[in-house]
Chain A
Amino acid sequence: MSDKTQVSDGKRAATDPLAGQAADARYKGFNASADPWKVIGTLQYGEDRTLASTVERVVLDADASQYPGFEKKLLALATDPACTEAGYGFICRILSLIASPASVAALKDRLTDDNEVKAYLTRMVIEQVPGDEALAALREAAGRVKGREAEGLIGAVKARESSRQGAKTF
Chain B
Amino acid sequence: MMKQAGAVAAVGFPSIIPAKVLGQQAPSKMLTLACVGVGGMGLSHISQLKAHRDRVRIVAVADVDIYHQRRAVRQIDEMNGDRSCRMYTDFREVTRAPDIDLIAIATPDNWHALTAIDAIRHGKDVFVEKPLTLTVREGQALVSELRKHKRIGQTGTMQRSSEAFHHAAELIRNGRLGKIRRIEVLIPANNRHVGATWKPEAVPEGLDYDFWLGPAPYAPYTSQRTHYQFRYILDYAGGQTTNWGAHYLDIAQWALGMDESGPVEAEGHGVFPSSGLFTAPTRVDVRYTYANGVTMRMRTRTDGVYDGNIIFYGDQGTLDVSRSKLKSDPEGILKEKIGAGETRLYKSRNHFGNWIDCVKSRELPVSDLAIGHKTTNLCNIGNIAMQLQRRLVWDPVREMFAGDDMANRMLTRPMRGPWSLA
Query: Which residues of A does B touch, CB under 8 Å?
Result: 15-19, 22, 26, 45-50, 53-54, 60-61, 64, 89, 96-98, 116-117, 120-121, 123-124, 127-128, 147-156, 158-159, 162, 168-170
Contacts and interface: CB of A to CB of B under 8 A. Distances in A.
Most buried by A among B140, B274, B275: B274
Contact of B417 (A50, A98, A148): A148
Nearest to A49: B275
A71 B150 CA distance: 45
A148 B418 contact: yes
Interface centre among A18, A154, A158 (most CB of B within 10 A): A18
Interface in B377-420: 387-389, 399, 405-406, 409-410, 413-420
Given A46-B197, A60-B389, A96-B414, 17 more contacts: A15-B389, A18-B270, A18-B283, A18-B285, A60-B388, A61-B389, A120-B217, A120-B416, A124-B217, A150-B418, A152-B417, A152-B419, A152-B420, A154-B420, A155-B417, A158-B420, A170-B140
A64 B141 contact: no
B316 interface: no
A64 B408 CA distance: 14
A96 B405 CA distance: 11
Interface of A is mostly: helix
A55 to B, nearest CB: 11
A16 B399 contact: no
Contact of A127 (B196, B199, B270, B414): B414
Contacts of A152: 414-420
A97 B406 contact: yes
B200 interface: yes
A45 B417 contact: no
A1 B200 CA distance: 39
Interface stretch (B44-52, B122-130, B218-226, B250-258): B218-226
For A148, A155, A158, the residue with the greatest tally of chain B CB atoms inside 10 Å of its CB is A155
Contact of A128 (B140, B199, B275, B409): B409
Contacts of A149: 417-418
A107 B417 CA distance: 18
A148 B409 CA distance: 24
A97 B407 CA distance: 8
| Tier of interface size on chain B | 35 or more
A155 B222 contact: no
B144 interface: yes
A92 B275 CA distance: 18
A156 B399 contact: no
A119 B416 CA distance: 9
A137 B285 CA distance: 40
Contact of B271 (A22, A96, A117, A151): A22
22 contacts: A15-B389, A18-B271, A18-B285, A46-B197, A46-B199, A49-B274, A49-B275, A96-B409, A116-B417, A117-B218, A120-B218, A120-B414, A120-B416, A124-B414, A127-B414, A150-B417, A152-B418, A152-B419, A154-B420, A155-B421, A156-B420, A169-B141
Interface of B: 137, 140-141, 143-144, 196-200, 217-220, 222, 269-272, 274-277, 283, 285, 387-389, 399, 405-406, 409-410, 413-422
B417 A89 contact: no
- Give the 10 A-B residue pairs with the shortest CB-CB distance, closest first: A155-B420, A152-B417, A151-B418, A155-B422, A158-B422, A170-B140, A149-B417, A127-B414, A53-B274, A148-B417
B219 A45 contact: yes
Nearest to B272: A53
Contacts of A120: 217-218, 414, 416-417
B222 A46 contact: yes
Nearest to A12: B389
B416 A89 contact: no
B191 to A, nearest CB: 19
A60 B387 contact: yes
Nearest to B285: A18
A45 B221 CA distance: 10
B198 A46 contact: yes
Contacts of A46: 197-200, 220, 222, 277
Given A18-B283, A46-B197, A159 B421 contact: yes
Contacts of B421: 155, 159
Contacts of A17: 269
B274 A54 contact: yes
A22 B140 CA distance: 37
A50 B410 contact: no
Nearest to A129: B409
Given A17-B269, A49-B274, A159 B196 contact: no
Given A152-B416, A153-B417, A22 B274 contact: yes
B144 A26 contact: no
Nearest to A120: B416
Contacts of B416: 120, 148, 152
Contacts of A159: 420-422
B403 to A, nearest CB: 10
Given A96-B409, A158-B422, A50 B218 contact: no
A97 B198 CA distance: 26
A150 to B, nearest CB: 7
